[in-house]
A and B are shown apart, each in its own frame.
Chain A
Amino acid sequence: MSELLRRAAGVLLRHVEVREEDRAHADVRARVVRLARAERRRRPMRMAVLVFAPAAVLAAVLAVVLGRVREEPAVAFVVGETRAVGLVGGYLVPSGAASLPVSFSDGSTMVLMPSTRARVTSTTARGAQLLLESGRVECDIRHLPGAAWAVSAGPYSIDVIGTSFDVTWDTQRARLEVQMRHGAVRVRGPGVDDGVELRDRQRLTVGGDATASGTTAVPTIESAPVGVTSAPAATVGVSAARSVPDVATSPVASGSEGSMAVEESPTTAGSAEVSNGEVVSWSQRVARGEYAVVVSEAEARGIDGVLGAASMADVGALADAARFVGKGSLATRCLHTLRSRFPGTARAASAAFVLGRTAEDAGSSSTALGWYDTYLAEAPGGPLAPEALGRRMLALRRMGNTGAARQAAEVYLRRFPNGPYSGVAREMTTP
C-alpha cells in the first residue's frame, strides 16, 4: 500500500466528520421507502403498456383510417361579469374586494375570492386544470361522463369528477385546505402521498408548519357542516385512508386504548368504518415513514398514559417516531420506559443501543460507550452487535483512548471482518 496515499486517507478518516442527523436520515429513509414502493407499483403497469401498446396503436391507426376519430373541442371559459374570453395560461386576479367568476362552456364555474391568483393551465374536451397560486377558489364542477378536472396548489393536486368544493392555498405556510360541499374529490401531495378521497362536507387540512420544517405533514379530516370551524378533528393515517366515507358530524374519542388512530374514531350510527377497516399499528406507521402521525396521536392521548400502559411494540414505535421527528427528550423517555417496563427483552437491549446513539448525538462519548457496552452484554449476538461494536470503537477513539480503541478494532475485525466498520477498524489496527 502506498504510504503517501495511506496518509492522505488517514487525514480524511480522522478529520472529515460524517454527521448522521436523525431528521435527515429519517427523511431519506421515508423518501426511499415511498419511491421504491411507487416504482414497484408502476412495474406491472409498464408491462401492461408493453403488451397492449401495439394493439392500441393499431386500433388508433384503424380509427383514423376509418374516419372515426372526431376531435371534440376543448371547454372554453369566460371571465368576470363582462364575460371576457379566457386565455389558457393567463392570470386570473380579482380586482379589489370583488370576487372573480370564471364560467366554463360545460356549465362548470369557479369563483376566485379577493386576493387570489390563479391560472387555467390547460383545457380539454373533458375539463380543465386550474393552478391556484395563492388564495381561495370555490369550484362547482358539473358531473358529466368522462369529466376530468383538476386543481393544483403548490405540491398538491385535487382530481375532480363532479362536485362542489372550496380550495384554499396558503403559500406562506404551504398549507392546503379543501372544504367539500357535495360530491367527491381525491387529493394527493406531501402527507397524502397515496391520495385521500373526500366526500360530502368533509374538510381536509394538510401541510402547514410541519411540511415547512421538513417533517411529514399531518393531514386532518373534519366532518362538519360548511362554516363550522370548531368541529373535532380526526387525524387520519393517510396511506390507510384511501377512502374516507361519508361521516356525519363525528366526535372523536381521544382517550381510547389502542395504537390505531383510525380504529379509535367511533362515529355515529350508520357511518362506515374509516379506512376500509384496515388496522394500522404504530409500528406499521413508522415503517411507512409516518412519524409525525404517531407522535401527534401519542401526544393527543397523553404521553404519561401511553408510556405507562401501551404495549412494548407501541412504546418502541413511538421511540422511533419521536427520534425521527427530532423529539429527542420524548424518544429518550420511551427508551428508558422500554428498559424499565420490559427488562430482559430484545427491545430493551435495542433501547440501550439507541440510547447510546442518542448520547453520541448529544456529544457524550462516555455515556454512549456505557450504553453500547450494555447492549453488547445483553445481546452479544444481536442484530445490532456490529453497529454497537463499531460505534464503541469510534467512541473510544474520540475519547482519546487509543489503546482501548485499537483493541476494540481488533475485536471488531475478528467478529465482523466484512462489517460496515471494517475499513476504519483496519486503519486503526494497521501499525
Chain B
Amino acid sequence: MNIIETVRLHKRYKDLTAVEDVTLEVREREIFGFLGPNGAGKSTTIRMLATLTRPTSGTARIDGHDIVRQPNRVRQSIGLVFQETTLDERLTAAENLLFHGMLYNVERRALSRRMAEVLELVDLTDRREARVKTYSGGMKRRLEIARGLIHYPRVLFLDEPTVGLDPQTRNRIWTFIHELRIRENLTIFMTTHYMDEAEHCDRIAIIDHGRIVALDTPANLKKMVGRDLITLRTPFRKEVMLFVEDKFGLPVQETGEYLQIEVSGAESFIPVLAGELGGRLHSISLHKPTLDDVFLKLTGRGIREETADAWSVYRTHMRWRR
C-alpha cells in the first residue's frame, strides 16, 4: 500500500521553479530517501508534504489525506524533524514531549505512557528531567525524533537528520531509525546529501533542479553506472590477462602495473579467481559503484560540490548571537 502519493507537485516562486512535476509513491514501512544538493528542492517538497507550503499546482495524499484540502488531518498523521532544532532548550525533555503531546491532542494518561516509551526508544530515559540546553547535539536530535513520534504518526519526515553530527552519533541515529520502522510500523521519508547514508534507504529519489532524475533502490541505481571493478596486482600480467579472458570470457584492461576487470557480483567472483590464480597474485582490490558515481552520472557533477547556502550561514550566525 502507498502511504504517500504525490501527483505532479509543482512549486513556483516569483522567478524560480523550486519543484517541478514531482510524482512519486512511497510504500508503507519504507525508508524513502530524497537525495540532492542544497537548493535542489528537497526541503520545499517536504514543506509541501507537511502542509507548511502550498503547492502551486498538483497535490499529494498522505495516509489517504489530501495535503491541500485536509491539512490538519495530514499534520496529525505525520511527525516532523527539522534540520534546525525546534526544541525549547529552557524546558526539560519531559516538558518538550508533554507540550507536543498536548498540541497533538494525545489523551493525558496515554501521553505519559507514550512519553516513557519514546524516551526509552531513543535511550534518553535517564535524562528525562534535564533541561534540553544541557544536551549534546546527538541527544537533541534523538529527543526531536522522539518528540516527532509522540502522537503515533504514520510517516516520519526527517530533514537531514544527521547533519552536523559526528560519525559515531550518526550511526547511532541510524540504528534508531531502523528500529523505529520495526517497532512503530513507521514509514520514513528523509532528505540527505550524505551518500553513505542514502544507502540505508530502501528506495531513493534523486532530485536536481526541482526534478526527480532517478528513483529506485540503491542497488539498482548503482547498476546504472556500471559493474564492479576488480583491480589485480601481479608480476605475471600477460599470463593472467590471457587466462582470465580465456577462462571467464571477460575483457581485461592493463593500466600501468595493474589489471582491471569489470564484472557484476564481484564478491563471489573474487574467490574463484583467487583459487585459479593462487600465488600469482600479489593483491586484489574491489571498487563497487557508489551513489556518488550515480549522482555524477545523472547530473554531471558531484553532490558535495556546493558550499553552505547563505541562509544557513545567517542562521548559524544568529544562533550564536542568542
* Chain A partners chain B: no
**B-contacting residues of A (Cβ < 8 Å)?**
none
Residues of B within 8 A of A (CB): none
